[in-house]
Structure 1
Amino acid sequence: MLTRVDPLLPLPENVLSLSTARREWNGVRVDVSEFHCAGRVSHQLRHQSETRLNVLLEEIGSPCEPRLREDQPCPIGYMPRHMHFAPAGMEIWGFSADTRFARDATLIFDLAVLSERLATGFNADAITKPRLRFADDRIWTLVRLLSDTMNDPDPSTQLYGDGLTAAIAARLFAEPPEPATDGKGLAPWQLRRIVEYLDARLPERVELAHLAAQVGLSQAHFSRAFKASTGMAPYRWQLDARIRRAQALLIDSHASLNEVAEATGFADAVHFGRTFRKLTGATPAAWRRDRKN
């Protein structure tokens, strides 16, 4: 569930406004913040008592940099799409000589919950060793995709976000992922159980950890095996199933588009129509009309 976080009060000098949106997946709390600024900005970053990854998504003006001390420049040179990782208890400062806008994402890890849900251990060095400024295109892309879902109320974003956070954690500090045992996907009984579980809960939110637990697999192994069996990621399968249910309602009932949207877990008819057209190539009204004539 999306929440809005009260800004730092008072705002740091030259920060005109600050807004933060927050969601949580898989024991990973995600804060996406937007800073509108006018000049030099220097402030202590939040969450120093927690293990966190900060990813710079966008900046306008002088480059932003992480610092160990407010008055000590970052010893690592600028690089695009940079990020930093800090273990719990480490103080980090953010600095820019002259910035206008910055957007970043901070992922705060509950390592105990995350380890349990991913059914894996973490590399001890990776979770305790700070990385002040580094670039990883894969992590950056995954975090950007995660940030883009912050305001999406669609139930399928639960599985989507679970999958993204699992992939980020595996890339950042998990032990090497377990190999698939047979490379052929889920066993027939496993796939049947998962499909029945998803069908019974349409169109509700479903967590990836719960799906993996149904068949005794880690999230990473489950995601690979499910896609091998169905050709789809779990979130995409759930979304397709909701669209199939919507198609049945469009043909078999006189329900309005708003009623169909509500019954299949979409925020409103506009969101439903946009998703329906993306997956089928036609608007719900046109699709219904063509099949009822």
Structure 2
Amino acid sequence: MQQNPDLPENVVSVSALEGEYNGVRIDVTGFHCIGQVSHQFKHTEETRLSVVLEEIGGRCEPRLRPNRPNPIDHMPRHMHFAPAGLEMWGHTDEVRFVRDATLSFDVERLSATLATVFSQDLISAPRLRFADERLWTLVRLLSEAVGNTDPSTQLYCDGLTTAIAARLFSLSPPLREPDSTGLAPWRLRRVIDYLDARLPERVELGQLAELVGLSPSHFSRAFKASTGMAPYQWQLDARIRRAQAQLLDTDASLDAVAQAAGFADAVHFGRAFRKLTGATPAAWRLDRKS
């Protein structure tokens, strides 16, 4: 196999996925390696968080200089944060496989989108290696959703990136937010009407929040307080309810019902349907039509 000239000589192969949610780009990359590997990280011009999701056969570490070891001891599920303009390198000894996720933040855009003021001290201070179980879990969930074409993925990932930014940058209290635990009835109705009118299309969290004049983070909390569900859960539930009506009222095939509800195919539809109802679409339809 011919070596890719853009890869370090000891990297055998690379797989990559990317996505953008709420103005945050995520690159999920898997490296198959042989021996010792050192390489310069990309996205130097951007504020970024890199999270090690898997490291098999050895350890990897971020460095400020290619030949200067990281002074901070290795720790499980470690990550590093780099402000825009800071060059960093990755180094591994005998690692066979590494999977990581790099989140690149447009800080000004994200601050405006979330209507929130970030801690400038945290934005400008590099963190060479640290661990945060909650943050790691949020990034893992986001990385697992990248590439998923299901329409509800957009709201799900928008919510995750909002939570990641809040955790990473210690957001101050959002601007323009009323003192309320839930959405006012008119706000809730406007959002639900908007979602209903666009089922089963993708909808961004920022669109819903802007519709009722709230920041995405406050909107998410208030929506859940009002409905008991996160926005993406509500949208997925509404898609399943629409599918249930079609299962009862028509003889359409499962593939046709799945497509009408915005699922890639009957397999994905069946999995989501069973998770929410406890039965397969075919069994659910048979039970109610018999």
The residue aligned with 1:58 is 54
Per-residue CA distance 1:37-84 (angstroms, 9 max, x = gap): 111011111111111100000001221000000000001111111100
**Alpha-carbon distance in 2 for matches of 1:161, 1:173:** 18
The residue aligned with 1:157 is 153
Out of 102, 127, 132, which is 1:131 matched to? 127
SS of equivalent residue, structure 2 residue 93: strand
Out of 251, 255, 260, which is 1:254 matched to? 251
For the Cα contact (< 8 Å) 2:116–2:172, is it kept in 1? Answer: no
Per-residue CA distance 1:219-276 (angstroms, 9 max, x = gap): 1111110000000000000000000000000001111111111111100011001110
In the TM superposition, what is the alpha-carbon distance from 1:177 to its structure 2 partner?
3.4
**Alpha-carbon distance in 1 for matches of 2:131, 2:182:** 33
The residue aligned with 1:73 is 69
In the TM superposition, what is the alpha-carbon distance from 1:178 to its structure 2 partner?
3.8
The residue aligned with 1:4 is none
The residue aligned with 1:244 is 241
The residue aligned with 1:96 is 92
For the Cα contact (< 8 Å) 1:170–1:177, is it kept in 2? Answer: no
The residue aligned with 1:38 is 34
Q: Which aligned pairs between 1:3-18 and structure 2 lie closer than 5 A?
A: 9-18=5-14
TM-score, length of structure 2 as denominator length? 0.96
SS of equivalent residue, structure 1 residue 210: helix
The residue aligned with 1:218 is 215
Q: Larger deviation: 166-175 or 179-188?
A: 179-188
In the TM superposition, what is the alpha-carbon distance from 1:174 to its structure 2 partner?
4.3
The residue aligned with 2:22 is 26
For the Cα contact (< 8 Å) 2:118–2:172, is it kept in 1? Answer: no
Q: Which amino acid aligns with 2:90?
A: G
**Alpha-carbon distance in 1 for matches of 2:284, 2:210:** 37
Structure 2 residue runs without a partner (length 5+): none
Out of 270, 273, 281, which is 1:273 matched to? 270
SS of equivalent residue, structure 1 residue 103: strand
Q: Which amino acid aligns with 1:257?
A: L
**Alpha-carbon distance in 1 for matches of 2:53, 2:255:** 35
The residue aligned with 1:3 is none
Q: Which amino acid aligns with 2:195?
A: L
Aligned residues: 287
